[in-house]
Chains A and B, each alone.
Chain A
Amino acid sequence: MRLFGIFLLLFLLLFSACQQSEQSDPIFELLDAESTGMDFTNSLKPTDSLNILEYLYFYNGGGVGAGDVNNDGWIDLYFVSNQGENKLYLNQGGFRFEDVTTEAGVAGKADWSAGVTMADVNGDGYLDIYVSNVSGYKGLKGHNELFINNQDGTFTESADDYGLAHQGFSTQAAFFDYDRDGDLDMYLLNHSVKSPEVFSPAVARHVADAKGDKLFRNEGGVFMDVTQESGIYSSLIGFGLGLSIADLNQDGWPDIYVSNDFTENDYLYINQQDGTFTEELEQRIQYTSRYAMGNVVADVNNDAFSEIITTDMLPKNPEIWRKSVVEDKKEVYDIKINYGYGHQYVRNTLQKNLGNGQFSDVSFYANTYASDWSWSPLIFDMDNDGWPDLHITNGIFKRPNDLDYVNYSTVNEETKDMNAKELQRYLINGLPTVKIPNLAMKNKGNFNFISQAEEWGLSQPSYSNGSAYADLNNDGQLDLVVNNTEQASFIYKNINPKKNAYLSLRLVEKGNNSFALGAKVKVKTKGQVFYRENFNTRGFQSAVPPMLYFGLGDAQKVDELEIVWPDGKVQILNNVEVNQQLTIKKEAKAPKMKLTVSAAQHFEIIDSPIAYKHEEDAFNDLNASYLMPRKYSTEGPALAIGDVNGDGLDDVFLGGAKKQSAELWIQSLEGSFNKKQNKSFEQLSISEDVAALFFDANGNGHLDLYVTSAGNEYKEGQLFTYDKLYINDGKGNFSFSPMALPQIGSHGKSVVAFDADNDGDLDLFVGANISHGNYGESPKPYLLINNGNGIFEDQTYQRLPNAKSLGMVNAAAVLDYNNDGHADLVLAGEWMPVTLLENDGKGNFSKAKVKGFEKSEGWWYSLALSDVNGDGKKDIIAGNLGWNTKLKASEDQPVQLYLNDFDNNGQKDPILFHFQAGQATPFATRNDLIAQVSAFKKLHKNYTAYAQLEGAEELFAGVNTEEMVKKEVYEFSSVVFLQQEDGSFQKITLPQEAQYAPIMNILAKDFDDDGNIDLLLAGNLYAFRNDYGRAAAKPFTLLKGKGNGQFSPTNDAYLNTHLTWGEYRHLGWLQGNGKPQVVATRNNQTPVWLKLK
């Protein structure tokens, strides 16, 4: 039965993999031990004193190190066995290997080994071997071992002599010259064995412990522990599982990336160039993997900046996903945040390097976020087409996160008479085992990946841990070696029939860093740049050869080869032949590297001239409406810009969160701003201001002010939800006008003023985006008709017959689309299409019969109107959720919402489905679902049954669904709707660079004075529940208009710095005496000001 289950699972996996793959000849051939002479298996013998319950990393497996230890030109391999003998195999060419462990004396004496790396530690030109061990725990003896190469086929273990015989819980080491003094220093990655399940406050990372991570400085051949003075964290909350060295900020000095398991953040140490490091992860990276395992740093998109990839344990197979412990429950997530930890999610990340020291996770876009229980990520060009591909090892011999196991494994009848040891054995034996293939993804450029494990011959099921790539037969194609648990290791020979161009580099330096670890190389062919850094600790517990491999596609030759040596000297070779392995020696008189200057920029980020910071209150509506995908309690701040005192200079109104007063800032002639005191703002600070608008309500020529109150804390109609109208005396003194408005108690998200009924005054449309306690339902919008004196009447239902079913409106705009002189309305929001409401001229609105918005149901957040193709007709730019999210929607595979009071308790339960592997599956976990609707627990008796549910019908079988409402969304792209001659609209998808984050607001202007409308988009929405994850990948996107409705991406990274990162709400265009400025408001932050250059 279990076998059958596994078979089925495999089938499913294959099936789902096939959907996104493409036909290809196999690229790899798995060689058997007989042909290679390599028969290494990492076998484990659990005992009563040492097993998964006694040592949490019992099944983490071993690493593999690759390097030419005898300098014969063939890459040799060192395999780590956790409990048995480690093995060194000499490569004899022709994929034949010889086990020389005993003669070489490198088996190791420690009771438990984990990682291996090779480096020429003593600078004699021969690679030495450093093995990271676990000792001093549960009777495990030994210490880390340094096998110094005697240059005669033998090694001498000399860790103690070098000061590197650390005793503790080591995972892996990396050799690099952090102080650039010409010799190799070492970072030692350790893991704690302290109970990770009891959280410590994050400040515990400052408490150094002898067992924590270590930095060693090489001082004349002896390594000194400089952990303390160098600023490296060395605490017991670090569960270090991944280590990479790279120059992440392009200053020429090597930096360090450490991925930590459990609650602790990952560490990004920036080299301060003075022997110290500062940990700057939270300034540069928005969130990381939760249970981060291995990591790799390498350029993925060939822009000469290195990305960071970390692995986690999110299952790729939807069925396994739903029956596994995955994302923290929201409460636990919040606790970790309160303890001071950063945002972390249970999934792989692919942190795109923006080139300015900032990173942005695009793993949802790239579809690399899930690869099951993963260990070693490697980036290397498997098919030499020029785009580095991704390989991730995965699998765990005993799978401890199976929810049925967690909840139903301790059968009392069977266990009641067992003693502690028997119970332990019983528990371990009961752990499920699922053997799955590793992940291999082909890089198609620009972060587009497709699964190719099956096609490329890499889909053998396994429990795989460490891995390394190397060119084992010197044919220029990279082979792959994987260390498996309880299974022969994999040697994959690259048999790619397509002979793409390649270049392999071996760098040689005089002195103690003979392999030039730390050198950076750019290979330039016609129009393309390929970038590699020569650091060899990669993936998980493993090391690749200290060489650089370039796949070059169809390049005929290398135009320029630029080597930046570890000391910063630059050496350039021109017209280098491809298809060769080149050994390059450092020239003595190479010049120093110069730092390059960035390209043209249209905006300048200036300091905010006003002392305002939005301060969000602690209320979180997800506590009350648990199944909503996101909060609606953080929608502010409101922004309005206009000249309120008639001096020709724009002034700024900023709303406050609950209990924060709104503020009005008056611009002076010099461009500075003065805060205008206003009693009414202070008195009404109890409400949460979300949208604001300056408009002339009473026709006296002065701008009055409308402000919506929202926040989803109170039910509609409660006092704090009433919107406000303030009347301007012409000098910027606003007074609250309590009788001007009916009681508008919706959670207003947008407001526009226009003359709806053609009577010469300004009426209002106010859109709301959440019905309190009833997510998914259409909240009431308001159509407010002005009597001419600034007194408004609610005529919504009289004039807007479909007001009750519009959707959750986030944005509204006024557009006379048919040029009949009557102002029509464009609306956009969540669970609704972009909607055009036609005005009959008397202020009655009905859905316009216009083509172009079919199947445009999406999660729209923003709208802008502009004639972007210069045809005299206004076009609609609409901001949507984007593509970089767990949810994907299309016409065939929509995201679905089922609204029903499943348990007849008077509250509608929103149940969201999305497609995974072709099947509509509930997004919520079984635990979350039954917490909301306990009736579901009766319908599927365990997690396995829940995981196997097919579609909504099966989930809802047996539940009363007579009044159930189903909604679907098909479109998550941010787009432009171009108005055509015939009045219909044509949808144009904005470029990929605009799809990395939800677009919260849009400014359409000709920023570069070329006559074409450009777009400035402000993005990010952190309000999502943690199982969706905060959308934080991109604050600003600047698109250049081509004048024909198309837009091209620009180098907008300069707008996205750690100072501007945030979740944006509004963009405003502010004019005064100088150049126009953009005011951009962020939730719970200061506004960002951009000045047009």
Chain B
Amino acid sequence: MQRYFLVVLAFIMLISACDQGVKEVKVDADVYHQTVEKLSEIIVHDIFSPPVASRIYAYPSIATYEVLASEQPKYLSLVGQVSELSALPEAKKEVSYELAALEAFIATGKALIFSEDQLDTFREKLYKELREGVNRKYFDASLAYGQEVAKHILAWADGDMYKQTRTYPKFTVKEDPTRWQPTPPGYFEAIEPHWNEIRTFVIDSANQFVPKPPTEYDLTPGSQFHSELMEVYEVRKKLTEEQKEIASFWDCNPYVMNVTGHLMAASKKITPGGHWIGITKIVSQKAGADFMKSAEAYALTSIALADAFISCWDEKYRSSLIRPETLINQHIDEEWLPLLQTPPFPEYTSGHSVISSAAAIALTHIYGDNFSFDDTTEEKYGLPMRSFNSFFEASEEAAISRLYGGIHYRPAIENGVIQGRALGKYVINKIQLKKDELSKK
């Protein structure tokens, strides 16, 4: 390995000895989209849970945005607008900000995922192409600057309580009949019970957007709660084909455990946040957005997503509500299975409802309402395209899909949408990415 490295090094030195080539690197928006998509693939491979994945999208997206914005007079830095981000280092040499922005994304992302080799391979291939005809020192200086920014962003990320919360106490299952308990077939522990201690990006605190409490637990037939429970049970029986498609399309469960006897095989999909990152790509392409504009879209969407997860998880472990599958199995039908596998965390509010609503606000803010698009994000995972007339249409479908999927009661969806929209609006009002937005306010 080391020898191979030396050979490569020697080769690089040889070809670059002459210090020629242009001092310009143009990074096409599509290259950035591919890079974000690669990150998504690795997140799927490495099995990150939805909240953790949202964190992994946010930091690299911000890194890219910051590098690009620093040289665009129209754009504003996020420094001072997101919690605890200090001024970024400036480039000391002549660099390509676009290349540096790309490298900042890759270097930040690499530190946050596990399968570094996959990102390395992608990066090598990518730079081999970009490097062609470019001045070596210029190219390398751009990379070095990108890495410097990444280092800065990672130092910032290091203070967000992520690593501390790794060893915090696990969620305890108690005999309380209303309290969440692990669900079949994996019976996984509740994930990220301390996610509300993660530093928020824009919102004041995890509990800034507390939804109204879930319906009071009451299994008396005719009670509000019982009717909501029965709705989940009944809906499952008469699902239309389209409703089933909708449920599957928005499943976005990164780790579905398929079990037959002793045989287990996980099928892995993109997370809910990852789905919206995918939509960001699709609509940026459709809008013909350049690298800067795309970076803006990713940054804003990923920030909205990350804060939405923190807000949603805050409520999840406040109410710690039991999933419909558990109650239906206990009280109504032992054999009942939801269409989707119940994900391993408390029921209220619906994560997909909260984060999709927040993301829809962010994307509408950038690309406008009634922006129609063909959502092909799930094709990779064997699910056909669905078309939407607007981001809100998509987010509302994502929300109601959880009822069809049999994993949420209706209030988690409806109140989740309210929670996500309020949060999204707050985020877009609080953050100013373009200078001309100042005058609008």
Contact = CB atoms under 8 A, between A and B. Distances in A.
Nearest to B329: A198
4 residue pairs, one from A and one from B, having the closest CB atoms:
A56-B261, A400-B263, A197-B185, A197-B259
B268 interface: yes
Given A331-B187, A331-B188, A410-B268, 11 more contacts: A53-B260, A197-B261, A199-B187, A313-B262, A331-B182, A334-B173, A412-B382, A415-B382, A418-B382, A427-B265, A941-B117
A574 interface: no
B166 interface: yes
B166 A903 contact: yes
B436 interface: no
Interface in B1-57: 44-47
Interface stretch (A7-15, A822-830, A932-940): A932-940
Contact of A626 (B170, B182, B381): B170
Given A197-B259, A334-B173, A416-B382, A933 B268 contact: no
A400 B264 contact: yes
Contacts of A407: 47, 266
Contacts of A199: 184, 187
A57 interface: yes
Contacts of B266: 406-407, 409-410
Interface residues of A, number: 55
A418 B267 CA distance: 13
A532 to B, nearest CB: 34
B264 A406 contact: yes
B167 interface: yes
A938 B163 contact: no
Nearest to A329: B189
Contact of B166 (A52, A53, A291, A932): A932
A903 B266 CA distance: 28
B419 to A, nearest CB: 28
Given A416-B381, A937-B114, A623 B163 contact: no
B170 A53 contact: no
A626 B166 CA distance: 11
Contacts of B337: 198
B164 interface: yes
A905 B163 contact: yes
Given A623-B170, A941-B114, A410 B163 contact: no
Interface string A612-627: 0000001010011010
B259 A412 contact: no
B380 A905 contact: no
Interface in A180-215: 195-200, 204
Contacts of B189: 329, 331
Given A291-B262, A410-B268, A624-B169, A618 B45 contact: no
B73 to A, nearest CB: 40
Interface in A221-267: none
Nearest to A904: B163
A552 interface: no
B181 interface: yes
Interface majority SS on B: helix, strand, loop or mixed? Answer: loop
A411 to B, nearest CB: 9
A1055 B394 CA distance: 70
A408 B329 CA distance: 30
B116 interface: yes
Interface in A130-152: none
A405 B263 CA distance: 10
A335 interface: yes
B110 to A, nearest CB: 10
A198 B115 contact: no
B187 A905 contact: no
A905 B263 contact: no
A409 B257 CA distance: 12
A307 to B, nearest CB: 27
Contact of A905 (B44, B46, B166, B182): B166
Nearest to A942: B115
Interface string B365-402: 00000000000000111100000000000000000000
User: Most chain-A Cβ atoms within 10 A of its Cβ — which of B189, B263, B334?
Assistant: B263
A674 interface: no
Given A197-B184, A416-B381, A903-B166, A401 B265 contact: no
User: Most chain-B Cβ atoms within 10 A of its Cβ — which of A54, A412, A427?
Assistant: A412
A938 B114 contact: yes
Chain B interface size band reads 35 or more
B323 to A, nearest CB: 13
B380 A198 contact: no
Contacts of A401: 262, 264
A338 interface: yes
A618 B175 CA distance: 10
A20 interface: no
A199 B261 CA distance: 12
B176 to A, nearest CB: 11
Contacts of B261: 52, 56-57, 196-197, 400
B172 interface: yes
B379 A933 contact: no
Interface string A44-75: 00000000111011000000000000000000
A772 to B, nearest CB: 12
A903 B262 CA distance: 34
Interface string B131-173: 0000000000000000000000000000000011011111011
Nearest to A332: B187
A407 B257 CA distance: 9
B120 to A, nearest CB: 12
A907 interface: yes
Interface string A308-339: 00000100000000000100010110110010
Contact of B169 (A197, A418, A623): A623
Contacts of A329: 188-189
A769 B115 CA distance: 40
Contacts of A982: none
B440 interface: no
Nearest to A58: B261
A906 interface: yes
Nearest to A621: B169
Contact of B268 (A331, A412, A909): A412
A966 B170 CA distance: 27
Contacts of A937: 46, 114
A56 B263 contact: yes
Interface string A404-446: 0111111011011110000000010001000000000000000
Contacts of B259: 195, 197
A934 B382 CA distance: 30
A199 B182 CA distance: 11
Interface in A773-832: none
Given A331-B182, A331-B189, A941 B166 contact: no
B174 interface: yes
Interface in A364-418: 400-401, 405-410, 412-413, 415-418
Contacts of A933: 166
A938 B337 CA distance: 36
Nearest to B255: A407
A1081 B95 CA distance: 75
Contacts of B268: 410, 412
A413 B44 CA distance: 12
A53 B260 CA distance: 6
A56 B182 contact: no
A826 to B, nearest CB: 35
Contact of A335 (B168, B174, B181, B381): B181
A212 to B, nearest CB: 16
A934 B113 CA distance: 10
Given A623-B169, A903-B163, A405 B265 contact: yes
Given A197-B184, A412-B380, A932-B166, A338 B116 contact: no
